[in-house]
Amino acid sequence: MDTRLAREARKISFSQKQLMFIIGSILGDGYLDTTTRGYSLRIHHGISQKEYVEFKYSLISSFVNSKPKRSGNAYYFRTVSHPILTKLRSIFYKDRKKVIPKIFLRKNFDPFALAIWIMDDGAADKNQLRINTQSFSLEENLWLIKFLQTKFGIKSTINVDRRKYRLRIANSSMNLLKQLITPYIIPSMSYKLSP
């Protein structure tokens, strides 16, 4: 995408699916990076997750200057800067730290966003699933428990990991979780869900 095309991309709104992808990514491994024009979304995973990066690229390629690249053991791309990403930066970050924007998430979160978040930060744990939310505070994690219960009927608890907090989806909610997100889980990331 040349400069002119990038300029045109900034005038286009993200689709609902693209917005959910971005939200799920920000909660997970995605990062809103500063640019001279505002903020871009940086997607960065290990080379073992190349197929996942390619999947993410396919969702948002019309907002990306160049195809994913390899750098050492990493595989990554970034979008052009976009006014909506600048707005999301102000919603999801306080100073340079990611936060949980409670009011925003109540209105802007669906099973596709949940699937992206789990493909980013989920980890199978026997018959359960952990979501690595250690970067969020205890209060934010407790809010996420209530949010998942209210929004989807998914029960979860706090799991302590080296004095940090993360979520553990209850065994009793795993079937419901799988029903909600399996349609969106790509084959190479299915290991994130327990059998």
What pLDDT is attached to residue 1?
47
For 50, phi then psi, to 5°, come to -55, -45
Q: What is the pLDDT of residues 9-62, one digit of tens each?
A: 777 899 999 999 999 999 999 999 998 889 999 999 999 999 999 999 999 999
What pLDDT is attached to residue 161?
79
Rounded to whole angstroms, the Cα distance separating 98 from 91 reads 9
Strand partners, 156: 169
What pLDDT is attached to residue 65?
87
What pLDDT is attached to residue 195?
66
Query: Does the structure show a pLDDT above 70 at 77?
Result: yes
The arithmetic mean of pLDDT across residues 95-116, rounded, is 96
Cβ–Cβ under 8 Å, residues 105 and 99:
no
Cβ–Cβ under 8 Å, residues 155 and 173:
yes
Query: Does the structure show a pLDDT above 70 at 3?
Result: no
Total-model pTM: 0.93
Q: What is the pLDDT of residues 146-192, one digit of tens each?
A: 999 999 999 999 988 788 899 999 999 999 999 999 999 999 999 99
What pLDDT is attached to residue 153?
98
Band of the pLDDT at 5, cuts 50, 70, 90? low
